[in-house]
Structure 1
């Protein structure tokens, strides 16, 4: 019976750990399917995390904090779009700069406004039990006894897949990422669609960062994203540029995060530093296994100038 309880706790933690990765990876999937790669997800998540915490702490509303985080990250996403889509700057360099901005700005905001605050914790976002479904053995508490942001993330992936694969909007997004010149000839606005996809991706990264500060840790810690933005980039590739693939890959990487925490709690005779690198080792292994099997959009990372 103890192993069942342990398994249930591990799977619950897996879903929670996968949530910020799901938000961020699904959003980035849209951006990359439109032909723009944004490696600045780490910075966007940090901006989302600190803004969500600051607004939730001062207003007392977690949901207001999440909304503010989404909008703040989207603003920086649009700025990234101006640099890369309008002016054609190198997307990798611009994304790296965005990571540095996010790291520095989040630390500055936190130190400027909260360095002298003694009680920095905020009210946790409580779990919501879904009647009847939460009573299912093992899987009930895992899937149906989580907070609302977890439920939103689990619903986001299939909804995003439906829009991307079964609607005219999704077809337009995919076309500008594969053959932008042909898409423009067909009357589509390549620049407009890319801006929209990048803004959506940044918004989702902001929500992913907000989850870490207001729903997971209940406080902000400098550099608390801890590489999850880069893992989300790997998840997009691992999920083969599919929202549902991103969800399953997020759960896999969420499992590695949850497992290393459970192993540390179990006092296994392994240095905790080795356990902490488990998710990042899994990322490297996944990228090695996928080498040469890429299904990336043909125009990914390629700037495009619309004809006058």
Structure 2
């Protein structure tokens, strides 16, 4: 039993990590009052940037950094259009996803089917030889980074003055502006942070999951990350649980395709659709709840138009 359970847990962690990292960045952006639906596009740009960096340098940490810079750079386009020019956030986010999908496909065309090395585990191999310790120490850097960021973002939003300012901007931008805080500046910083996290999440795909470039390799995970923020009611700890719930469903799909016993009873196509069906179901159930919007930032998606 343990021989089967441990590989499932390891696969689950790998599937959930990119979703969690991207969702954490989107949570910070939404807490500031900005709805960025371009997460999928930023992830794809981060994926190709990370792949190219790893292909030429062989340094996975540099690849993650390049993914973060690429995601942040693309997010600046969204920030300029929505915060400086007051463009519609929903339409601009959708356009950003289309742009990121096309840009990554164009940039990645010369690298199709060219393999790279997967990122090595962070801890020494001797700690991961035993199956039990492998569950704790058998992962690469992004997995532990995602756990650290859950705690760091929770602490930042709940315990720091800067986090309080960010939440105030998301709850009542005019009041924050009236006491001297730069609403646009705070939102720019939040959007860029969200873009960097999405870029890191995208770079995780070639570095952790599939060691080669494939067009649209994120396969809609960015949309799941956006829905996950709503599913978690804008709370980092719930985000962790939600990401691993979706990761579990994706892991079951892989084992079903591999002929995983009882799992093979359900067609693999249905397993593949389950994460997205679950996303739709979660959003419908939340929208039916009377208190569904009580924890949502009051200014979410609304452009800031200062009176003076």
From 145, 153, 160, the equivalent of 2:146 is: 153
Q: Are residues 1:280 and 2:276 paired?
A: yes
- Residue 156 of structure 1: how far off its partner (Å): 0.8
CA distance in 2, matches of 1:195, 1:108: 28
Task: Identify the range of structure 1 (23-32 vs 242-251) with the bigger mean alpha-carbon deviation.
Answer: 242-251
RMSD over aligned CA atoms reads: 1.8
CA distance in 2, matches of 1:137, 1:223: 34
- Residue 271 of structure 1: how far off its partner (Å): 2.7
From 160, 170, 178, the equivalent of 1:177 is: 170
Q: Which runs of 5+ in 1 are unaligned?
A: none
Secondary structure at the counterpart of residue 300 of structure 1: coil
From 56, 59, 65, the equivalent of 1:58 is: 56
Whether the aligned pair in 2 keeps the contact of 1:52 and 1:68 (CA below 8 Å) is: yes
Q: Are residues 1:122 and 2:116 paired?
A: yes
Aligned residues: 301
CA distance in 1, matches of 2:137, 2:17: 14
Whether the aligned pair in 2 keeps the contact of 1:44 and 1:206 (CA below 8 Å) is: yes
Task: Identify the range of structure 1 (127-136 vs 22-31) with the bigger mean alpha-carbon deviation.
Answer: 127-136
Task: Identify the range of structure 1 (7-16 vs 48-57) with the bigger mean alpha-carbon deviation.
Answer: 7-16
Q: Deviations over 1:238-277 (max 9, x none)?
A: 1111222211111111111111111221251433212211
From 226, 235, 238, the equivalent of 1:233 is: 226
TM-score normalized by structure 1?
Answer: 0.93
Q: Determine the structure 2 residue equivalent to 1:34.
A: 32
Q: Deviations over 1:80-138 (max 9, x none)?
A: 00100111111010001001101100010111x325xxx61111111234799868874
Task: Identify the range of structure 1 (145-154 vs 266-275) with the bigger mean alpha-carbon deviation.
Answer: 266-275
Whether the aligned pair in 1 keeps the contact of 2:176 and 2:183 (CA below 8 Å) is: yes
C-alpha change, 1:237 and 1:136, in structure 2 (3 Å) is: farther
Q: Determine the structure 2 residue equivalent to 1:48.
A: 46
Q: Determine the structure 2 residue equivalent to 1:300.
A: 300
CA distance in 2, matches of 1:260, 1:215: 18
Q: Are residues 1:142 and 2:135 paired?
A: yes
Whether the aligned pair in 2 keeps the contact of 1:15 and 1:142 (CA below 8 Å) is: no
Secondary structure at the counterpart of residue 277 of structure 1: helix
From 261, 267, 291, the equivalent of 1:271 is: 267
Write out the 4+ residue segments of structure 1 that deviate beyond 4 Å after TM superposition: 130-138
CA distance in 1, matches of 2:91, 2:107: 24
Q: Are residues 1:95 and 2:89 paired?
A: no
Q: Which runs of 5+ in 2 are unaligned?
A: none
Task: Identify the range of structure 1 (192-201 vs 13-22) with the bigger mean alpha-carbon deviation.
Answer: 13-22
CA distance in 2, matches of 1:225, 1:96: 16
Whether the aligned pair in 2 keeps the contact of 1:190 and 1:306 (CA below 8 Å) is: no
CA distance in 2, matches of 1:31, 1:133: 37
Whether the aligned pair in 1 keeps the contact of 2:250 and 2:271 (CA below 8 Å) is: no
